[in-house]
Structure 1
């Protein structure tokens, strides 16, 4: 009887913020893991979270304060260990644990898809649940709430958005389990498109502009929203400068006026201060992806595709080849309409 292989759905950004071609191996992550106390995150990190949570509960902190404090703690701990945010940090934890348990003869492989988008074909084109990274951009843009964005327009799509449809990710997982049954290979697969069928974020923004110019979002007053092309900040420095001049300084002025007037503008100040903090936190959270300069090699994944085509008659039913994707057609006619139908209009 074939012994099943454990497949972890990991994340390629555990590689660190590299430039150039990033190989399908664990070299970058292993160097950082060696600097960490062995598996201390299983005890230390949980203890820190519980201590902070108990402290906040003792102070009768609001749900919002607790949420924001724990988010900040997560970012702080991730950066302490060398990762940009908690998401990548927890993915790295998973890889470390798998490597540890592989010593007990646990067969496993690691699939590292970048950010995942709606289905390409199965169960039907455009199916999606919830908001992905680019979907948040689409939602804000079509409603006229997003006019500027921290992004290098020439960044390739694997780094920020529509890199690989979810059904292709599922297919790659199924195929990896079948092909590597009874093996303890520990192979890492980059299941993405940046090497063989790249798309720049500039193109995605252009497709969004084209789509919502032709099919504008209608607001609650039944008026169509007129969209404009998005202005971009190519560096964190320019983003911070803009935010300081456009938002931080006026907010400080409002704080002073509020104090002088006996807290007459307290609600307004709290509202805009919350929005500013959220914007800065989100920019810092997504910075590693939005300004990423790497390209993910996928030689192992390509070999998996070849083995599947040559050895399995059902190969055509388990497509995970990104070269078949026409990005403009997919984004304009599949992803955006699917996101609007299954998420935004609900």
Structure 2
């Protein structure tokens, strides 16, 4: 074939683009070379006109069990003359069923009343229906049709299950697929060593990570007048004396309404007490309720009273904190602050 384009400068290290290759019907081959040796190739070809319906049954590894609850799935797709799925097809297919099975139908995305019908639309050329077995084994016949397409018929046999007085000693089916090792890359590009920002290094807050939108800083020697947030000019003013000299996390107040289960995470570098100052106007998140106790003390940040909660962590213990609240967070509030002190 004719060479259409080459590219040796991937975007973001892995994405090779060919913007000047125009679409046309037929087949196109992309090949990847390393040191002038072919390492990988992939072929794409356009699909022809829809001519037929294809049915594919899916059952458990030991077949479809006649236990009154086992489900047989059937994929139906619209294909061209070569058996390739037509990905732009999105139209109704009608079904008939006979034999010992209960039709459970399928579902069309976002389409009301599309379940349990003897018809269903394809989506991107394919969809799926289900049939539930009865206690009686036997052959179930399913036919799919649409005007203008060659219909398809399949037969699914349900196998008997030894049931006595409503009970069976046969265990449910399980799949025993073995997961193979993933192939190693043919080439690993040189990667520069990542240097951790000095702002997020700490002996107390070891292996620290923050998944919020804002930036954070780890700071030492908490005292009166120290800045509490990275994005607010609020200083610690009234704080309990036992917090003096602590390490602390300068949080982004902009993330006060952001939530992630692992928003803040670190490993305790030493045996330490961990304190959280939490805005009383915000419902307590579950992680504080579960692991922290109210000290009865408060801190004042910009005129806002923050209740102080405490827990003790052993060196090497993983600490995970979620967002400011697990539910609705009021518009007028402040992000919690985190303080750590070596025991």
TM-score (norm 2): 0.19
Larger RCO (CA under 8 A, 6+ residues apart): 1
- Report the structure, 1 or 2, having the larger strand content: 2
- Report the structure, 1 or 2, having the larger helix content: 1
